[in-house]
Chain A
Amino acid sequence: KQEVTQIPAALSVPEGENLVLNCSFTDSAIYNLQWFRQDPGKGLTSLLLIQSSQREQTSGRLNASLDKSSGRSTLYIAASQPGDSATYLCAVADRGSTLGRLYFGRGTQLTVWP
């Protein structure tokens, strides 16, 4: 069974810092990996989708990389802002499942203070 782990569980940084959030998964047979943002009590907002054949994706200040063979992904946030404060979730679509269901990590809770 696919297991997804996110490190660190929580991170608190001053505004302006560059950040790296880590995600690892146990089975490299995946269709894709998605990074989501979740604000307290809210649903999930998709940030970046990396297909299994891709190495990275970028959107604004966000850059996500994927090393499928080692089962790792990183989300890089440049020049962090207080508005980036949220929980960031990593999820993989496992090829062992024919249905496209996602396996999630527990998330990294990020706090950016002014």
Chain B
Amino acid sequence: DTGVSQNPRHKITKRGQNVTFRCDPISEHNRLYWYRQTLGQGPEFLTYFQNEAQLEKSRLLSDRFSAERPKGSFSTLEIQRTEQGDSAMYLCASSLGAAMNTEAFFGQGTRLTVV
């Protein structure tokens, strides 16, 4: 499968615990995005990587959230001290090229439930 891969698909955690999600973009895609989607809403932008550099973070990304993309390949999104409001679908997308008009490809998402 050469699409965007996200793991795990589902995560249930207790409030206060830390969780980490992984995204493997399409090979050679230099741009990687994280989005968050809550029930009944469209996805909202969280953060963006161009190669290994994190170039923008949304105000939605509190200091409990951190994202990395070492070596410009896979990316991880960590949430520390999870809260019930963090329950959502976390989506990763990748695209190729320097131009901003290229197609974005999304993974299957990680569904986080904080209990």
Q: State the A residues within 8 Å of B (CB).
A: 4, 31-32, 34, 36, 41-46, 49, 51-52, 89, 91, 93, 95, 97-107
We find that the number of chain B residues with CB closer than 8 angstroms to chain A is 31
Distance of A31 Cα from B48 Cα, bound (Å): 17
Q: Are B100 and A89 within 8 A (Cβ)?
A: no
Given A101-B45, A104-B43, A107-B42, A46 and B104 contact (CB-CB distance below 8 Å): yes
Q: Are B6 and A43 within 8 A (Cβ)?
A: yes
Q: State the total of A-B contacts with C-beta under 8 angstroms.
A: 74
Chain B contact residues: helix, strand, loop or mixed:
strand
Q: Are A31 and B101 within 8 A (Cβ)?
A: yes
Q: Are A89 and B56 within 8 A (Cβ)?
A: no
Distance of A15 Cα from B111 Cα, bound (Å): 31
Q: Is B31 an interface residue (CB 8 A)?
A: yes
With CB as the reference atom, state the residue of chain A lying closest to B6.
A43
